[in-house]
Amino acid sequence: MCQYFAYIDICGLCPDPDLDLSIYEENEVAQYATKLNTLTGFNSPYGECVDAKGNTWITNFTGASVVEYGRGGKQPIATLGTNGNSIGCSVSPNGDLAVANFSSASGIGNIEVFKLGSGKPTEYTNEQDLYLWPPGYDNKGNLFVEAATYSGGVGVAELPAGGSALEPVSVKQTIYFPGGVMWDGKYITLTDQDAGGNPSSPATTIYQMSEQGSSLAVVGSTPLEDNCNGNQVDVVQPFIAGRKNTPVNTKQGEVVIGGNLSCENRVDAWKYPAGGQPMAVAGPVPEYVYGQAVSVHKK
């Protein structure tokens, strides 16, 4: 992956990492490994996630499925059917796969959990959340997801480890436009694609959150900046990369990678948790990248 990033070498963070980029409009995934590969056969690929071994799962938004690839593999090793527009996924520390469907046959979004990443899923919804975004497990197996609510705002819901219900949780931070959730090795993080609430000039920010009783509170933030298209940044699902694959990483990641939808052909790497201007820019990259995942060797 590293030879595709300009300006600096980020390979010191992890040995020989692979990067997959979802190209929604082209129904392809660009795989940056020892060489650039193009994976095909998708139906609007969107969110991505990795397991402890470094295998990558890719969600098909209009294909009602999630597809697994081995680390650096060019052929799928598993495909699981979903019941909606699959927008993102996350793998728990014990190997369960959670897929968020933005919407489903019933019209509302849901979470489907595949025990150990196979079989038939268990479905979870709640009465407040309408459209769901890419979810994230923390290191304890609690699953969090951001959602557009029936009331017109943005909410966060949690499926506790061992729990049976997806319940809204209180968040001590306004989220203006939902995005991906991810464990960064130390904190669960929430993404606001439009921090500050200015849709004409999006500014993506990642919030590090701590659980305080029954609510989440901000303990830090990572503003993502860029120098293209008026410094606008819109990253749907920032991927925080560390020395181990999420969510078995126990140290906070040092790089966040994301496709900036406000600029064509733009995939950046920012220092994490500092943020600010990119420390590296990837190339060549597709026109617009919606989701990405970094896979490292299991250690």
pLDDT digits (tens, 9 = 90+) for 102-158: 999 889 999 999 999 999 999 999 999 999 999 999 999 999 999 999 999 999 999
Query: What is the C-alpha radius of gyration for the chain, rounded to an integer number of angstroms?
Result: 17
Q: What is the pLDDT of residue 14?
A: 52
Listed in order, strand segments (DSSP E) in 61-187 are 65-69, 76-81, 84-91, 97-104, 110-114, 122-124, 129-132, 136-137, 143-149, 154-159, 167-172, 178-183
Percent of the chain with pLDDT over 70: 95
The residue ranking higher by pLDDT, 2 or 27, is 27
Q: Is residue 6 over pLDDT 70? A: no
Q: What is the pLDDT of residue 213?
A: 79
Q: Is residue 5 over pLDDT 90? A: no
Instruction: Compute the mean pLDDT over every residue in the chain, rounded to the nearest whole number.
Output: 93
Cα separation, 297 vs 144, in Å, equals 26
- Best CA proximity match to 153, nearest among 182, 131, 134: 131
According to DSSP, the β-strands at 291-295 and 280-282 are unpaired
Secondary structure (DSSP) of 155-167: EEEEE-TT-S--E
Annotation: CATH topology of 2-295: Neuraminidase (2.120.10)
Backbone angles phi, psi at 11, to 5 degrees: -70, -20
Q: What is the pLDDT of residue 223?
A: 98
Cα separation, 121 vs 49, in Å, equals 17
When pLDDT is averaged across residues 72-97 and rounded to a whole number, the result is 97
Q: What is the pTM of this model?
A: 0.96
pLDDT digits (tens, 9 = 90+) for 12-71: 555 568 899 999 999 999 999 878 899 999 999 999 999 999 999 999 999 999 999 998
Show Cβ contacts of residue 15 under 8 Å, excluding neighbours closer than 6 positions: 296, 297
Single-letter residue type at 60 = N
